[in-house]
């Protein structure tokens, strides 16, 4: 349907009539420099008819153009059908580790050996797509923690910025405590039962101004629930000129601290040793119960004012051209 944003602008329609009747017309006098009787008699009838037609055309062009101009001022809009937007009410923040250890290639995605960050992007990106109705934010941390994306319903933007992140972008160390502190700060003004932080790391806290346990206690007091994910394989075969040997690429993973963080905040700790386990973890996180809230309705709007405005401009232009030609003809 068509809706007018400023319908009161229709009161401007009689304005030209008011101007015509309230203001006196300018008196003009036309005196011929030379009178030729027979020429005047020959062309008078033809000129009078032509001027009447031009005047009538100018009048209609002006009337229609004015109506279109007022119609444009009324701000016509096309309103589409109502669209229901599911809103769960949950405010979910993702904190992703970008430290140097995330470049360890102990994960497989589509039969290709990839580093830990690539695997995280692959699985977390799908998780973000499924979080319809949640406000999602993104924190990237290494030596320092940065807010990459504030809370938003725009899942496409969050996913894009996650994919654009790179190892070492925030430094080579790991500031888990600072990442939690930043999440607490950004979620402090949100509803207490809706605050969730999903923190993914492959190491231990080696940087930052805040200890992880202290940050977790602060998060618990603020009602922030934290789910921690320890990422990295337990075993990896390394080949060299001296032969093959087995190593633990996750020897630096501080599971004790990650479990304590989750426990203090009412969350849960998960261990992701491969891509399948990481996908299963995000599937479990998908089952977080959303809060009950009223469904929000959105009605798309499309502006239409430029159509009558363009036509009015065109008609005014034609009217001006006819006036000039009429004047030149006289």
> What tens digit of pLDDT does each residue of 171-191 get?
888 999 999 999 999 998 877
Q: Is the pLDDT of residue 58 over 60?
A: yes
Task: Write down the pLDDT at residue 236.
Answer: 65
Are 150 and 243 members of one domain? yes
Tell which wins on pLDDT, 54 or 268: 268
Task: Write down the pLDDT at residue 288.
Answer: 66
Are 71 and 194 members of one domain? no
How is residue 47 written in tokens? 């000129």
Q: Is residue 222 part of a domain?
A: yes
- 101-115 pLDDT tens trace: 898 888 888 888 889
Are 236 and 325 members of one domain? no
Residue position matching structure tokens 């004047």: 327
- 191-219 pLDDT tens trace: 766 789 999 998 889 888 899 999 999 99
How many folded domains does the chain comprise? 2
Are 72 and 154 members of one domain? no
Q: Which domain holds residue 109?
A: 86-285
Are 196 and 267 members of one domain? yes
Are 180 and 195 members of one domain? yes
Q: Is residue 126 part of a domain?
A: yes
Distance CA 133, CA 289 (A): 12
Tell which wins on pLDDT, 66 or 295: 66
Residue 137 sits at the vertex; the CA angle it makes with 136 and 138, to the nearest 5 degrees, is 130
Alpha helix (H) ranges present in the chain?
15-22, 37-73, 116-130, 155-164, 176-187, 212-221, 255-265, 275-285, 306-329
Tell which wins on pLDDT, 52 or 118: 118
Are 210 and 314 members of one domain? no
Are 281 and 173 members of one domain? yes
Task: Write down the pLDDT at residue 42.
Answer: 45
- 7-33 pLDDT tens trace: 898 888 888 888 878 776 666 555 555
Q: Is the pLDDT of residue 86 over 80?
A: no
> Mean pLDDT throughout 54-82?
84
Q: Is the pLDDT of residue 274 over 50?
A: yes
Are 232 and 306 members of one domain? no
> Mean pLDDT throughout 142-151?
93
Are 269 and 240 members of one domain? yes
Q: Is residue 33 part of a domain?
A: no
């Amino acid at each position: 349907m068509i809706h007018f944003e400023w319908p009161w602008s229709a009161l401007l329609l009689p304005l030209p009539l008011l101007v015509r009747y309230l203001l006196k017309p300018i008196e003009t006098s036309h005196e011929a420099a030379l009178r030729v009787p027979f020429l005047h008699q020959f062309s008078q009838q033809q000129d009078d008819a032509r001027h009447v037609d031009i005047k009538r055309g100018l009048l209609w062009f002006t009337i229609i153009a004015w109506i279109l101009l007022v119609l444009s001022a009324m701000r016509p809009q096309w309103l589409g059908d109502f669209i229901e937007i599911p809103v769960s009410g949950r405010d979910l923040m993702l904190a992703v580790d970008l430290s140097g250890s995330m470049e360890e290639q102990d994960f497989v995605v589509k039969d290709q050996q990839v580093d830990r960050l690539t695997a995280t992007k692959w699985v977390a990106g799908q998780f973000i797509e499924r979080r319809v109705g949640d406000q999602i934010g993104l924190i990237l941390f290494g030596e320092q923690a940065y807010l990459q994306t504030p809370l938003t319903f725009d899942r496409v933007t969050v996913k894009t910025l996650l994919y654009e992140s790179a190892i070492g972008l925030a430094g080579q160390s790991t500031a888990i405590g600072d990442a939690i502190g930043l999440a607490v700060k950004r979620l402090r003004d949100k509803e207490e039962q809706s605050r969730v932080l999903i923190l993914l790391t492959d190491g231990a806290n080696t940087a930052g101004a805040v200890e992880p346990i202290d940050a977790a206690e602060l998060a618990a007091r603020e009602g922030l629930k934290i789910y921690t994910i320890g990422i990295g394989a337990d075993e990896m075969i390394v080949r060299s000129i001296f032969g093959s040997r087995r190593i633990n690429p996750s020897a630096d993973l501080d599971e004790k601290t990650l479990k304590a963080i989750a426990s203090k905040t009412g969350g849960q700790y998960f261990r992701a040793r491969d891509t399948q386990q990481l996908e299963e973890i995000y599937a479990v996180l998908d089952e977080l119960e959303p809060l009950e809230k009223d469904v929000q309705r959105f009605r798309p709007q499309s502006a239409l004012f430029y159509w009558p405005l363009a036509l009015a401009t065109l008609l005014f232009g034609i009217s001006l051209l006819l006036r000039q030609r009429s004047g030149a003809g006289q």
